[in-house]
Structure 1
Amino acid sequence: MDIHTVANSFSSLWPSDRVVATTGQLLHAGLDTRIIEAGVERNLILRLRRGVYVPMHTWQGAKPWDRDKLVLAGHIAAGNGSYVYSHFSSARLHDLQLWNSSKLIHVSTPYSASPARTSQDIAVHFAKIAPRELVQRFIPGVGLAHHTSLPRTVLECAMRGSLEQAVIIGDSALHAGLNLNELAELAELAE
Protein backbone atom coordinates (compact mmCIF):
# COMPACT_ATOMS: atom_id res chain seq x y z
CA MET A 1 0.00 0.00 0.00
CA ASP A 2 1.55 3.30 -1.06
CA ILE A 3 2.00 6.21 1.32
CA HIS A 4 -0.36 8.51 -0.61
CA THR A 5 -3.27 6.08 -0.26
CA VAL A 6 -2.59 5.72 3.46
CA ALA A 7 -2.17 9.49 3.97
CA ASN A 8 -5.38 10.23 2.06
CA SER A 9 -7.25 7.66 4.15
CA PHE A 10 -6.15 9.32 7.38
CA SER A 11 -6.77 12.88 6.20
CA SER A 12 -10.30 12.04 5.05
CA LEU A 13 -11.35 9.49 7.70
CA TRP A 14 -9.64 10.55 10.97
CA PRO A 15 -12.49 11.43 13.37
CA SER A 16 -12.56 15.24 13.27
CA ASP A 17 -13.68 15.48 16.91
CA ARG A 18 -10.74 13.41 18.24
CA VAL A 19 -7.31 14.58 19.40
CA VAL A 20 -6.38 10.96 20.06
CA ALA A 21 -8.34 7.99 18.75
CA THR A 22 -8.72 4.37 19.73
CA THR A 23 -8.64 1.50 17.27
CA GLY A 24 -12.40 1.13 17.70
CA GLN A 25 -12.99 4.79 16.86
CA LEU A 26 -10.77 4.55 13.77
CA LEU A 27 -12.52 1.39 12.60
CA HIS A 28 -15.90 3.05 13.17
CA ALA A 29 -14.72 6.02 11.06
CA GLY A 30 -14.04 3.70 8.13
CA LEU A 31 -10.35 2.85 8.47
CA ASP A 32 -9.28 -0.77 8.67
CA THR A 33 -6.50 -2.48 10.61
CA ARG A 34 -4.21 -2.66 7.54
CA ILE A 35 -4.48 1.11 7.04
CA ILE A 36 -3.88 1.74 10.76
CA GLU A 37 -0.76 -0.46 10.76
CA ALA A 38 0.45 1.16 7.54
CA GLY A 39 -0.07 4.57 9.16
CA VAL A 40 2.15 3.56 12.08
CA GLU A 41 4.80 2.02 9.79
CA ARG A 42 4.92 5.13 7.58
CA ASN A 43 5.01 7.55 10.54
CA LEU A 44 1.65 9.12 9.73
CA ILE A 45 0.24 8.24 13.14
CA LEU A 46 1.92 7.44 16.43
CA ARG A 47 0.81 4.61 18.68
CA LEU A 48 0.64 6.22 22.15
CA ARG A 49 -0.21 2.90 23.77
CA ARG A 50 -1.86 -0.30 22.63
CA GLY A 51 -4.95 0.65 20.66
CA VAL A 52 -4.57 4.46 20.93
CA TYR A 53 -3.15 6.76 18.27
CA VAL A 54 -2.40 10.41 17.57
CA PRO A 55 -1.64 12.01 14.19
CA MET A 56 2.13 12.36 13.79
CA HIS A 57 1.86 16.05 12.85
CA THR A 58 0.08 16.70 16.17
CA TRP A 59 2.81 14.86 18.09
CA GLN A 60 5.69 16.51 16.25
CA GLY A 61 4.18 19.98 16.66
CA ALA A 62 3.73 19.55 20.43
CA LYS A 63 6.11 20.90 23.06
CA PRO A 64 7.53 18.29 25.48
CA TRP A 65 5.02 19.14 28.24
CA ASP A 66 2.18 18.95 25.71
CA ARG A 67 3.43 15.52 24.63
CA ASP A 68 3.08 14.41 28.25
CA LYS A 69 -0.54 15.59 28.10
CA LEU A 70 -1.07 13.67 24.84
CA VAL A 71 0.25 10.47 26.46
CA LEU A 72 -2.15 11.06 29.36
CA ALA A 73 -4.97 11.73 26.87
CA GLY A 74 -4.16 8.38 25.24
CA HIS A 75 -4.50 6.62 28.58
CA ILE A 76 -7.80 8.39 29.26
CA ALA A 77 -9.14 7.37 25.84
CA ALA A 78 -8.04 3.76 26.35
CA GLY A 79 -9.44 3.61 29.89
CA ASN A 80 -12.84 4.92 28.87
CA GLY A 81 -13.45 6.67 32.21
CA SER A 82 -12.45 3.74 34.40
CA TYR A 83 -9.46 5.31 36.20
CA VAL A 84 -9.07 8.04 38.82
CA TYR A 85 -6.09 10.18 37.87
CA SER A 86 -4.15 11.66 40.75
CA HIS A 87 -0.91 13.38 41.71
CA PHE A 88 0.96 14.87 38.73
CA SER A 89 -1.50 13.47 36.19
CA SER A 90 -4.34 15.27 37.92
CA ALA A 91 -2.18 18.42 38.00
CA ARG A 92 -1.91 18.14 34.21
CA LEU A 93 -5.69 17.74 33.96
CA HIS A 94 -6.15 20.86 36.10
CA ASP A 95 -3.76 22.66 33.67
CA LEU A 96 -1.31 23.43 36.47
CA GLN A 97 2.29 24.32 35.76
CA LEU A 98 4.62 21.38 36.36
CA TRP A 99 8.37 21.46 36.62
CA ASN A 100 10.73 18.53 36.18
CA SER A 101 7.90 16.05 36.64
CA SER A 102 8.13 12.43 35.58
CA LYS A 103 6.20 11.23 32.57
CA LEU A 104 4.44 8.57 34.65
CA ILE A 105 0.67 8.41 34.61
CA HIS A 106 -0.58 8.46 38.20
CA VAL A 107 -3.81 6.65 39.07
CA SER A 108 -5.34 6.04 42.48
CA THR A 109 -7.33 2.98 43.38
CA PRO A 110 -9.08 1.94 46.62
CA TYR A 111 -7.46 -1.51 46.46
CA SER A 112 -3.95 -2.81 46.07
CA ALA A 113 -3.11 -3.47 42.41
CA SER A 114 -0.88 -6.28 41.24
CA PRO A 115 2.42 -4.81 40.00
CA ALA A 116 2.68 -7.60 37.42
CA ARG A 117 -0.49 -6.37 35.69
CA THR A 118 0.49 -2.69 35.64
CA SER A 119 2.16 -1.02 32.68
CA GLN A 120 5.61 0.44 33.35
CA ASP A 121 4.44 3.98 32.58
CA ILE A 122 1.75 3.84 35.29
CA ALA A 123 2.22 4.71 38.97
CA VAL A 124 -0.59 3.14 40.97
CA HIS A 125 -1.37 4.67 44.37
CA PHE A 126 -3.51 2.94 46.99
CA ALA A 127 -5.89 5.60 48.33
CA LYS A 128 -9.48 5.98 49.36
CA ILE A 129 -10.78 9.17 47.81
CA ALA A 130 -13.87 10.84 49.20
CA PRO A 131 -16.53 11.79 46.63
CA ARG A 132 -15.97 15.51 47.36
CA GLU A 133 -12.30 15.04 46.40
CA LEU A 134 -13.20 13.82 42.90
CA VAL A 135 -13.74 15.73 39.70
CA GLN A 136 -15.43 14.23 36.65
CA ARG A 137 -15.26 16.02 33.34
CA PHE A 138 -15.51 15.36 29.66
CA ILE A 139 -12.39 16.40 27.76
CA PRO A 140 -13.28 17.25 24.14
CA GLY A 141 -11.41 15.07 21.67
CA VAL A 142 -10.36 12.63 24.40
CA GLY A 143 -13.20 11.36 26.60
CA LEU A 144 -14.42 11.18 30.18
CA ALA A 145 -11.82 11.67 32.92
CA HIS A 146 -12.11 11.24 36.67
CA HIS A 147 -9.39 12.93 38.70
CA THR A 148 -8.69 14.32 42.12
CA SER A 149 -9.89 17.76 43.17
CA LEU A 150 -7.56 20.75 43.05
CA PRO A 151 -6.80 20.74 46.82
CA ARG A 152 -6.18 16.98 46.89
CA THR A 153 -3.98 17.21 43.80
CA VAL A 154 -1.85 19.97 45.34
CA LEU A 155 -1.49 18.01 48.58
CA GLU A 156 -0.55 14.77 46.78
CA CYS A 157 2.05 16.55 44.64
CA ALA A 158 3.50 18.32 47.70
CA MET A 159 3.79 15.02 49.56
CA ARG A 160 5.26 13.09 46.61
CA GLY A 161 7.35 15.70 44.78
CA SER A 162 10.29 17.93 45.60
CA LEU A 163 9.99 21.28 47.37
CA GLU A 164 10.49 23.07 44.04
CA GLN A 165 7.74 21.05 42.38
CA ALA A 166 5.39 21.69 45.30
CA VAL A 167 6.00 25.45 45.17
CA ILE A 168 5.43 25.66 41.40
CA ILE A 169 2.29 23.51 41.49
CA GLY A 170 0.99 25.31 44.58
CA ASP A 171 1.52 28.73 43.03
CA SER A 172 -0.16 27.62 39.82
CA ALA A 173 -3.08 26.20 41.82
CA LEU A 174 -3.51 29.50 43.69
CA HIS A 175 -3.81 31.26 40.33
CA ALA A 176 -6.37 28.60 39.31
CA GLY A 177 -8.53 29.38 42.35
CA LEU A 178 -7.26 26.99 45.04
CA ASN A 179 -9.19 27.43 48.30
CA LEU A 180 -6.59 27.46 51.09
CA ASN A 181 -9.16 26.51 53.73
CA GLU A 182 -10.02 23.33 51.80
CA LEU A 183 -6.30 22.57 51.42
CA ALA A 184 -5.67 23.07 55.17
CA GLU A 185 -8.65 20.86 56.03
CA LEU A 186 -7.40 18.11 53.73
CA ALA A 187 -3.85 18.40 55.11
CA GLU A 188 -5.17 17.91 58.66
CA LEU A 189 -6.95 14.74 57.60
CA ALA A 190 -3.78 13.44 55.93
CA GLU A 191 -1.70 13.67 59.13
Structure 2
Amino acid sequence: MEDLLALAARQGGYVLRRQALALGWLDSSLRAGIRHGLLVRPRHGTYVPAQVWRSASATGRLLIVSRATLHRLGEGFVLSHSSAAAVHGLDLHGVDLGRVHVTSRGRRSGRIEAGVVQHAGPLDDGEVVLVGGVPVVPVSRAVVETACLAGVEGAMVVASSALHHGSTTDDDLAARARRHGQLRGIRGARLGLSLSDAGCHSAGEARSLFLCWEQGLPRPVCQVPIHDADGLAGIVDAGWLEWRHVGEFDGLVKYGRQNPWSSDPVAMLVAEKAREDRIRETGLGMTRWTWHDLDPDVRARTAARIRHGLERSRRWYSTPA
Protein backbone atom coordinates (compact mmCIF):
# COMPACT_ATOMS: atom_id res chain seq x y z
CA MET A 1 0.00 0.00 0.00
CA GLU A 2 2.88 2.36 0.75
CA ASP A 3 4.21 2.12 -2.82
CA LEU A 4 0.77 2.81 -4.26
CA LEU A 5 0.20 5.80 -1.96
CA ALA A 6 3.60 7.23 -2.82
CA LEU A 7 2.92 6.92 -6.56
CA ALA A 8 -0.49 8.54 -6.16
CA ALA A 9 1.09 11.45 -4.26
CA ARG A 10 3.71 11.99 -6.98
CA GLN A 11 1.07 12.00 -9.73
CA GLY A 12 -1.40 14.32 -8.07
CA GLY A 13 -3.66 11.83 -6.34
CA TYR A 14 -4.29 8.91 -8.68
CA VAL A 15 -2.90 5.58 -9.85
CA LEU A 16 -3.87 3.87 -13.10
CA ARG A 17 -4.76 0.19 -13.10
CA ARG A 18 -1.75 -0.73 -15.22
CA GLN A 19 0.53 1.05 -12.77
CA ALA A 20 -1.00 -0.76 -9.80
CA LEU A 21 -0.52 -4.11 -11.56
CA ALA A 22 3.12 -3.21 -12.21
CA LEU A 23 3.53 -2.62 -8.48
CA GLY A 24 2.32 -6.15 -7.80
CA TRP A 25 -1.36 -5.53 -7.13
CA LEU A 26 -4.00 -7.85 -8.53
CA ASP A 27 -7.46 -6.86 -9.75
CA SER A 28 -8.84 -8.80 -6.78
CA SER A 29 -6.70 -6.79 -4.35
CA LEU A 30 -7.81 -3.52 -5.96
CA ARG A 31 -11.42 -4.58 -5.52
CA ALA A 32 -10.65 -5.47 -1.91
CA GLY A 33 -9.11 -2.05 -1.40
CA ILE A 34 -12.35 -0.45 -2.58
CA ARG A 35 -14.45 -2.81 -0.47
CA HIS A 36 -12.47 -2.01 2.69
CA GLY A 37 -12.59 1.75 2.11
CA LEU A 38 -8.93 2.19 1.23
CA LEU A 39 -9.40 3.08 -2.43
CA VAL A 40 -11.95 4.85 -4.61
CA ARG A 41 -12.42 4.20 -8.33
CA PRO A 42 -13.86 7.43 -9.79
CA ARG A 43 -13.38 6.23 -13.38
CA HIS A 44 -12.73 2.88 -15.02
CA GLY A 45 -9.05 2.05 -14.60
CA THR A 46 -8.37 4.96 -12.21
CA TYR A 47 -7.85 4.53 -8.46
CA VAL A 48 -7.51 7.20 -5.78
CA PRO A 49 -6.61 6.72 -2.10
CA ALA A 50 -9.90 7.09 -0.23
CA GLN A 51 -8.56 9.70 2.19
CA VAL A 52 -7.34 11.85 -0.71
CA TRP A 53 -10.71 11.60 -2.45
CA ARG A 54 -12.74 12.33 0.69
CA SER A 55 -10.70 15.42 1.55
CA ALA A 56 -10.79 16.88 -1.97
CA SER A 57 -13.29 19.55 -3.01
CA ALA A 58 -15.44 19.05 -6.09
CA THR A 59 -12.90 21.04 -8.12
CA GLY A 60 -10.07 19.07 -6.54
CA ARG A 61 -11.71 15.82 -7.61
CA LEU A 62 -12.07 17.16 -11.15
CA LEU A 63 -8.36 17.97 -11.07
CA ILE A 64 -7.43 14.43 -10.00
CA VAL A 65 -9.62 12.77 -12.62
CA SER A 66 -8.50 15.19 -15.34
CA ARG A 67 -4.84 14.39 -14.74
CA ALA A 68 -5.57 10.67 -14.71
CA THR A 69 -7.59 10.91 -17.94
CA LEU A 70 -4.83 12.78 -19.73
CA HIS A 71 -2.30 10.21 -18.54
CA ARG A 72 -4.50 7.39 -19.82
CA LEU A 73 -5.11 9.04 -23.23
CA GLY A 74 -1.41 9.64 -23.80
CA GLU A 75 0.27 12.08 -26.17
CA GLY A 76 -1.79 14.10 -28.60
CA PHE A 77 -4.19 15.53 -26.01
CA VAL A 78 -4.08 18.49 -23.63
CA LEU A 79 -6.49 19.52 -20.89
CA SER A 80 -8.81 22.36 -21.89
CA HIS A 81 -11.99 24.17 -20.79
CA SER A 82 -12.88 23.65 -17.10
CA SER A 83 -10.27 20.90 -16.68
CA ALA A 84 -7.54 23.34 -17.69
CA ALA A 85 -9.07 26.03 -15.50
CA ALA A 86 -8.86 23.64 -12.54
CA VAL A 87 -5.17 22.98 -13.25
CA HIS A 88 -4.58 26.74 -13.40
CA GLY A 89 -6.15 27.00 -9.94
CA LEU A 90 -9.21 29.03 -10.95
CA ASP A 91 -12.59 29.11 -9.22
CA LEU A 92 -15.37 27.31 -11.08
CA HIS A 93 -19.14 27.63 -11.03
CA GLY A 94 -21.91 26.57 -13.38
CA VAL A 95 -19.98 23.79 -15.11
CA ASP A 96 -20.34 20.02 -14.85
CA LEU A 97 -17.45 19.02 -12.59
CA GLY A 98 -18.07 15.39 -13.45
CA ARG A 99 -16.85 15.90 -17.02
CA VAL A 100 -13.24 16.02 -18.12
CA HIS A 101 -12.42 18.24 -21.11
CA VAL A 102 -9.46 17.57 -23.41
CA THR A 103 -8.51 18.95 -26.79
CA SER A 104 -6.83 16.83 -29.45
CA ARG A 105 -3.91 18.16 -31.45
CA GLY A 106 -5.01 16.32 -34.57
CA ARG A 107 -8.65 15.21 -34.37
CA ARG A 108 -11.00 17.02 -36.75
CA SER A 109 -14.19 16.35 -34.83
CA GLY A 110 -14.99 16.02 -31.17
CA ARG A 111 -16.81 13.33 -29.22
CA ILE A 112 -18.07 12.53 -25.73
CA GLU A 113 -17.24 9.18 -24.21
CA ALA A 114 -17.44 7.93 -20.61
CA GLY A 115 -17.55 11.41 -19.11
CA VAL A 116 -14.66 12.70 -21.24
CA VAL A 117 -15.37 15.46 -23.77
CA GLN A 118 -12.81 15.36 -26.56
CA HIS A 119 -12.70 18.64 -28.46
CA ALA A 120 -11.09 19.21 -31.84
CA GLY A 121 -8.37 21.89 -32.25
CA PRO A 122 -7.04 24.16 -33.58
CA LEU A 123 -4.12 23.63 -31.24
CA ASP A 124 -0.53 24.46 -32.15
CA ASP A 125 2.52 24.40 -29.92
CA GLY A 126 1.98 27.99 -28.88
CA GLU A 127 -1.38 27.00 -27.44
CA VAL A 128 0.06 24.50 -24.96
CA VAL A 129 1.66 25.31 -21.61
CA LEU A 130 2.92 23.04 -18.85
CA VAL A 131 1.56 23.50 -15.33
CA GLY A 132 3.18 21.12 -12.88
CA GLY A 133 4.19 18.98 -15.81
CA VAL A 134 0.59 18.79 -17.12
CA PRO A 135 -0.01 20.08 -20.67
CA VAL A 136 -2.96 22.50 -20.72
CA VAL A 137 -4.24 25.38 -22.81
CA PRO A 138 -3.19 28.87 -21.65
CA VAL A 139 -5.16 30.66 -18.96
CA SER A 140 -6.96 33.07 -21.28
CA ARG A 141 -8.14 30.25 -23.52
CA ALA A 142 -9.21 28.12 -20.55
CA VAL A 143 -11.21 31.04 -19.16
CA VAL A 144 -13.04 31.76 -22.43
CA GLU A 145 -13.74 28.07 -23.11
CA THR A 146 -15.04 27.58 -19.56
CA ALA A 147 -17.10 30.78 -19.78
CA CYS A 148 -18.85 29.39 -22.87
CA LEU A 149 -19.89 26.33 -20.86
CA ALA A 150 -20.82 28.15 -17.67
CA GLY A 151 -23.14 31.00 -18.68
CA VAL A 152 -22.90 34.59 -17.49
CA GLU A 153 -22.58 33.87 -13.76
CA GLY A 154 -20.01 31.12 -14.22
CA ALA A 155 -18.09 33.27 -16.69
CA MET A 156 -17.87 36.02 -14.07
CA VAL A 157 -16.54 33.54 -11.52
CA VAL A 158 -13.77 32.01 -13.64
CA ALA A 159 -12.73 35.32 -15.24
CA SER A 160 -12.70 37.20 -11.93
CA SER A 161 -10.57 34.44 -10.43
CA ALA A 162 -8.03 34.64 -13.25
CA LEU A 163 -7.92 38.44 -13.07
CA HIS A 164 -7.57 38.41 -9.29
CA HIS A 165 -4.59 36.04 -9.46
CA GLY A 166 -2.97 38.13 -12.19
CA SER A 167 -3.01 35.17 -14.57
CA THR A 168 -4.46 37.23 -17.42
CA THR A 169 -5.81 40.69 -18.21
CA ASP A 170 -9.06 42.15 -19.48
CA ASP A 171 -7.39 42.86 -22.83
CA ASP A 172 -6.12 39.28 -23.12
CA LEU A 173 -9.59 37.89 -22.42
CA ALA A 174 -11.24 40.24 -24.89
CA ALA A 175 -8.73 39.26 -27.59
CA ARG A 176 -9.22 35.58 -26.83
CA ALA A 177 -13.01 35.97 -27.02
CA ARG A 178 -12.66 37.56 -30.45
CA ARG A 179 -10.36 34.75 -31.57
CA HIS A 180 -12.85 32.10 -30.48
CA GLY A 181 -15.95 33.96 -31.58
CA GLN A 182 -17.38 30.84 -33.24
CA LEU A 183 -17.70 28.90 -29.97
CA ARG A 184 -21.19 27.99 -28.78
CA GLY A 185 -22.08 30.15 -25.78
CA ILE A 186 -19.65 32.95 -26.67
CA ARG A 187 -22.30 35.66 -26.34
CA GLY A 188 -23.00 34.89 -22.69
CA ALA A 189 -19.28 34.40 -22.14
CA ARG A 190 -18.49 37.88 -23.47
CA LEU A 191 -21.09 39.42 -21.17
CA GLY A 192 -19.70 37.54 -18.17
CA LEU A 193 -16.16 38.60 -19.02
CA SER A 194 -17.23 42.25 -19.25
CA LEU A 195 -18.85 42.05 -15.80
CA SER A 196 -15.94 40.29 -14.08
CA ASP A 197 -13.78 42.05 -11.49
CA ALA A 198 -10.25 41.39 -10.27
CA GLY A 199 -11.35 42.64 -6.85
CA CYS A 200 -13.40 39.47 -6.27
CA HIS A 201 -11.38 37.24 -3.95
CA SER A 202 -13.68 34.24 -4.20
CA ALA A 203 -16.38 32.57 -6.25
CA GLY A 204 -18.94 33.83 -3.75
CA GLU A 205 -17.90 37.44 -4.22
CA ALA A 206 -18.07 37.11 -8.02
CA ARG A 207 -21.50 35.52 -7.71
CA SER A 208 -22.54 38.43 -5.49
CA LEU A 209 -21.62 40.83 -8.30
CA PHE A 210 -23.75 38.74 -10.64
CA LEU A 211 -26.66 38.98 -8.20
CA CYS A 212 -26.38 42.78 -8.21
CA TRP A 213 -26.33 42.88 -12.02
CA GLU A 214 -29.17 40.40 -12.45
CA GLN A 215 -31.40 42.04 -9.84
CA GLY A 216 -30.77 45.62 -10.94
CA LEU A 217 -28.83 46.73 -7.85
CA PRO A 218 -26.11 49.38 -8.08
CA ARG A 219 -22.76 47.74 -8.79
CA PRO A 220 -20.60 47.85 -5.67
CA VAL A 221 -16.86 48.48 -5.48
CA CYS A 222 -15.01 45.34 -4.38
CA GLN A 223 -12.63 45.16 -1.42
CA VAL A 224 -13.13 48.64 0.04
CA PRO A 225 -10.88 49.68 2.97
CA ILE A 226 -12.79 51.42 5.78
CA HIS A 227 -10.85 53.66 8.16
CA ASP A 228 -11.70 55.23 11.48
CA ALA A 229 -9.75 57.42 13.89
CA ASP A 230 -7.60 54.46 14.94
CA GLY A 231 -6.67 53.40 11.43
CA LEU A 232 -7.96 50.56 9.26
CA ALA A 233 -11.23 49.25 10.66
CA GLY A 234 -11.55 46.55 8.01
CA ILE A 235 -11.78 45.76 4.32
CA VAL A 236 -15.31 44.99 3.20
CA ASP A 237 -16.25 42.76 0.29
CA ALA A 238 -18.62 45.29 -1.31
CA GLY A 239 -18.99 49.01 -0.90
CA TRP A 240 -21.74 51.42 -1.95
CA LEU A 241 -20.16 54.42 -0.24
CA GLU A 242 -22.37 56.96 -2.00
CA TRP A 243 -25.22 55.14 -0.27
CA ARG A 244 -23.26 54.97 3.03
CA HIS A 245 -23.56 51.16 2.91
CA VAL A 246 -21.27 48.14 2.71
CA GLY A 247 -21.79 44.42 2.19
CA GLU A 248 -20.11 41.25 3.40
CA PHE A 249 -20.34 37.86 1.75
CA ASP A 250 -20.21 35.05 4.32
CA GLY A 251 -18.22 37.30 6.62
CA LEU A 252 -17.48 34.69 9.28
CA VAL A 253 -15.90 32.02 7.07
CA LYS A 254 -14.19 33.45 4.00
CA TYR A 255 -14.19 31.11 1.02
CA GLY A 256 -10.72 29.71 0.41
CA ARG A 257 -8.97 31.81 3.04
CA GLN A 258 -7.13 30.89 6.21
CA ASN A 259 -8.71 32.22 9.37
CA PRO A 260 -6.42 32.57 12.41
CA TRP A 261 -9.31 31.77 14.77
CA SER A 262 -10.70 28.80 12.84
CA SER A 263 -9.93 26.48 15.76
CA ASP A 264 -11.68 28.82 18.21
CA PRO A 265 -15.21 29.70 17.01
CA VAL A 266 -15.89 31.92 20.03
CA ALA A 267 -12.79 34.04 19.38
CA MET A 268 -13.73 34.22 15.71
CA LEU A 269 -17.23 35.48 16.50
CA VAL A 270 -15.96 38.04 19.01
CA ALA A 271 -13.33 39.37 16.61
CA GLU A 272 -15.79 39.58 13.74
CA LYS A 273 -18.36 41.38 15.90
CA ALA A 274 -15.74 43.91 17.00
CA ARG A 275 -14.71 44.48 13.39
CA GLU A 276 -18.32 45.00 12.29
CA ASP A 277 -18.97 47.42 15.16
CA ARG A 278 -15.95 49.53 14.17
CA ILE A 279 -17.16 49.68 10.57
CA ARG A 280 -20.71 50.62 11.57
CA GLU A 281 -19.41 53.34 13.90
CA THR A 282 -17.89 55.13 10.91
CA GLY A 283 -21.47 55.88 9.80
CA LEU A 284 -22.05 52.97 7.45
CA GLY A 285 -24.82 50.43 7.29
CA MET A 286 -24.03 46.79 6.53
CA THR A 287 -25.78 43.84 4.91
CA ARG A 288 -24.47 40.29 5.11
CA TRP A 289 -25.31 37.33 2.90
CA THR A 290 -24.22 33.71 2.61
CA TRP A 291 -23.91 30.98 -0.01
CA HIS A 292 -27.58 30.11 0.42
CA ASP A 293 -28.61 33.71 -0.28
CA LEU A 294 -26.99 33.43 -3.74
CA ASP A 295 -29.15 30.48 -4.80
CA PRO A 296 -31.39 31.27 -7.79
CA ASP A 297 -34.62 30.62 -5.87
CA VAL A 298 -33.81 33.17 -3.14
CA ARG A 299 -31.74 35.78 -5.02
CA ALA A 300 -34.70 38.13 -5.42
CA ARG A 301 -35.26 38.15 -1.65
CA THR A 302 -31.55 38.73 -1.04
CA ALA A 303 -31.55 41.63 -3.49
CA ALA A 304 -34.61 43.14 -1.81
CA ARG A 305 -32.83 42.96 1.55
CA ILE A 306 -29.72 44.66 0.14
CA ARG A 307 -31.83 47.32 -1.57
CA HIS A 308 -33.66 48.01 1.69
CA GLY A 309 -30.31 48.37 3.45
CA LEU A 310 -29.02 50.79 0.82
CA GLU A 311 -32.07 53.04 1.07
CA ARG A 312 -32.07 52.96 4.86
CA SER A 313 -28.36 53.79 5.11
CA ARG A 314 -28.72 56.69 2.73
CA ARG A 315 -31.55 58.08 4.88
CA TRP A 316 -29.80 57.51 8.19
CA TYR A 317 -26.16 58.28 7.46
CA SER A 318 -26.00 60.74 4.57
CA THR A 319 -25.03 64.28 5.47
CA PRO A 320 -27.83 66.73 4.61
CA ALA A 321 -26.98 69.10 1.76
Q: TM-score range by the shorter chain?
A: 0.7 to 0.9
Structure-1 separation of matches of 2:26 and 2:72: 18
Fraction of identical pairs, as percent: 25
The verdict on how the C-alpha distance between 1:160 and 1:64 changes in structure 2, with shifts beyond 3 A counting, is: closer
Which of 157, 174, 184 is the matching residue for 2:174? Answer: 184
Deviation string for 1:16-48 (max 9, x for gaps)?
142211122223333233322221233321112
Q: Which runs of 4+ in 1 moved over 6 A?
A: none
Q: CA deviation at 1:162?
A: 0.6
Q: Is the 8 A contact 2:88 2:131 kept in 1?
A: no
1:136 maps to 130
What residue is the counterpart of 1:148 in the other structure? 137
Contact 1:22 1:53 in 2 (8 A): yes
For residues 133-183 of structure 1, what are the alpha-carbon distances to aligned partners after superposition, in whole Å with 9 as ceiling and x for unaligned?
211244xxxxx5221101111121223321001111111011222133333
Give the aligned residue type for 1:111: R
> Residue type matched to 1:188 in 2?
R
2:17 paired residue number: 23
- Tell me the secondary structure at the aligned position of residue 157 of structure 1: helix
Q: Which residue of 1 aligns with 2:229?
A: none
Change in 2 beyond 3 A, CA 1:79/1:17: same
Aligned to 1:14: 4
8 Å CA contact 1:47, 1:54 repeated in 2: yes
Segments of 5+ residues of structure 2 without an aligned counterpart are 182-321
**2:184 maps to what in 1?**
none
1:36 paired residue among 14, 19, 30: 30
Within the alignment, does 1:91 sit opposite 2:80 as a pair? no
Distance 1:188 1:56 in 2: 43
SS in 2 for 1:162: helix
TM-score (normalizing by structure 1): 0.78
The aligned residue for residue 173 of structure 1 is: 162
The residue type paired with residue 99 of structure 1 is: H
Tell me how far apart the structure 1 counterparts of residues 38 and 110 of structure 2 sit (CA, whole Å): 35
- Contact (CA 8 Å) 2:102, 2:117: kept in 1 or not? yes
Q: How far apart are the structure 2 equivalents of 1:15 and 1:57?
A: 10
Asked whether the 8 Å contact 1:90–1:148 carries over to 2, the reply is yes
- For 1:37 and 1:122, the matched residues in 2 are separated by 24
Q: TM-score, normalised by structure 2?
A: 0.49
1:162 to 147, 151, 157: 151
Contact kept? 1:52, 1:77, Cα under 8 Å: no
Equivalent position of 1:72 in the other structure: 66
Could you tell me how far 1:81 is from its partner in structure 2? 4.6
1:57 aligns with 2:51: yes
Alignment length, in residue pairs?
174
CA 1:145/1:80 → structure 2, altered by over 3 Å: closer, same or farther?
A: farther
Structure with higher RCO (Cα < 8 A, 6+ apart): 1
- Partner AA of 1:190 in structure 2: H
Q: CA deviation at 1:58?
A: 1.5
Counterpart CA distance in 2 for 1:76 and 1:42 is 28
Give the CA deviation at 1:56: 1.3
Asked whether the equivalents of residues 85 and 108 of structure 1 are also in contact (C-alpha less than 8 Å), the reply is yes
The alignment yields a C-alpha RMSD, in angstroms, of: 2.3
Q: Distance in 2 between matches of 1:17 and 1:134?
A: 26
- Give the distance between the partners of 2:40 and 2:76, measured in 1 at CA: 23
User: C-alpha offsets along residues 68-118 of structure 1, whole Å, 9 cap, x if unaligned?
Assistant: 222223313323454211111111111100013202111122424474xx4
Q: Which of structures 1 and 2 has the bigger CA Rg?
A: 2
**Residues in 2 aligned to 1:28 and 1:99: alpha-carbon distance in whole angstroms:** 38
> Bigger CA drift: 73-82 or 169-178?
73-82
Alpha-carbon spacing, 1:149–1:42, altered in 2? closer, same or farther (3 Å):
same
Aligned 8 A contact 2:94 2:150 in 1 = no
Query: Does the CA-based 8 Å contact 1:91-1:154 persist in structure 2?
Result: yes
Q: Distance in 1 between matches of 2:7 and 2:100?
A: 24
